[in-house]
Structure 1
Amino acid sequence: MNTDAIADIKAIEQLVATVERTQRAKDADGFLALFRPDALWTTAHGKVLLGLDAIAEFTRAVLPRADWDGDVTYEVVHTQFLRPDVAAVKVRQIYRSAEGDTEGAPLYVMTKQDDGAWLLHACQNTEVRVD
């Protein structure tokens, strides 16, 4: 793997760590700063949000009153570069609460910006059901 790819993987992992940090802090503005303006987000329950304005409206309504106790982890489990500036990133998320843990399996399509920063572009969150 070349040094650019290694640096990009580290940057992507940092972005996912920032998702975790902002989720733990229930920091809507910090979370929203990770998206492109034309981003697409599909929630774990299938709500489709087109564009940063829709993502922001949803996030500001839901994140501050989320029912987990702030203990959430996000782990990058696989990164696939679709092009040098586009990556599909599989993440494992676990939200812990008094009622029990909830697991998610998001897929983040990230794009590298002209300044070298990676941002969330098209994301699908999926709840993992344990039956």
Structure 2
Amino acid sequence: MTTESPSRAADIEAINRLVATVEHSQRAKDPEEFLALFHPDAIWTTAHGKVLVGLDAISEFTRKVLPAANWDGQVTYEVVHVLFIRPDVAAVKVRQRYLSPGEESEGAPLYVVAKQPDGRWLLTACQNTGVVADAP
């Protein structure tokens, strides 16, 4: 038996859709679809440690690197855990896998998402961390 409220279940489903849209935008190398998922004051830290503050900085970086990415676009994103910090803020742990013939890499992003007055969940503070194979 679950004790999850209908509104909490709807929020989790909306967060899963948000992450699925991140996946879709990355596969399509579509900066506009990706950027539409961010809060205007968002903070993004790339897997290589570049800190981007605000949608303007995130946009400039994304429009430069996403369309030119040298991978074949095969990437998956899976929500592995959602922690509600308050009803309108959640920490979302994601498993990110890049799949190329003969090569695979993994990331472990953490997205802090915030529910907007219109009900949409937006990426607000994000850290994209690469997973090092065989790390202790």
TM-score for both structures, normalised by structure 1: 0.98
Matched residue count: 131
Q: Which amino acid aligns with 1:106?
A: P
Structure 1 position 32 matched with structure 2 position 35: yes
Structure 1 position 23 matched with structure 2 position 52: no
Q: How does 1:47-126 map to 2 (within 5 A)?
A: 47-98=50-101, 100-126=103-129
Conserved? CA contact 1:108–1:124, under 8 Å? yes
Structure 1 position 8 matched with structure 2 position 38: no
Query: Aligned partners of 2:62, 2:132: CA distance in 1, in Å?
Result: 23
Structure 1 position 45 matched with structure 2 position 48: yes
Per-residue CA deviations over 1:46-103 (Å, capped at 9, x if unaligned) read 0000000000010011000112111100000000000000000000000122461110
* C-alpha spacing 1:25/1:89, structure 2 compared with 1 (3 Å): same
Q: Which amino acid aligns with 1:73?
A: T
Query: Aligned partners of 1:109, 1:123: CA distance in 2, in Å?
Result: 6
SS of the residue 1:64 aligns to: coil
Q: Please list every run of 5 or more consecutive structure 2 residues that lacks an aligned counterpart in the other structure.
A: none
* C-alpha spacing 1:99/1:49, structure 2 compared with 1 (3 Å): farther
Residue of structure 1 aligned with 2:130, choices 119, 127, 130: 127
Query: Aligned partners of 1:58, 1:100: CA distance in 2, in Å?
Result: 25
Query: Aligned partners of 2:22, 2:122: CA distance in 1, in Å?
Result: 11
Q: Which amino acid aligns with 2:59?
A: A
SS of the residue 2:22 aligns to: helix
Query: Aligned partners of 1:79, 1:36: CA distance in 2, in Å?
Result: 19
Conserved? CA contact 1:67–1:97, under 8 Å? no
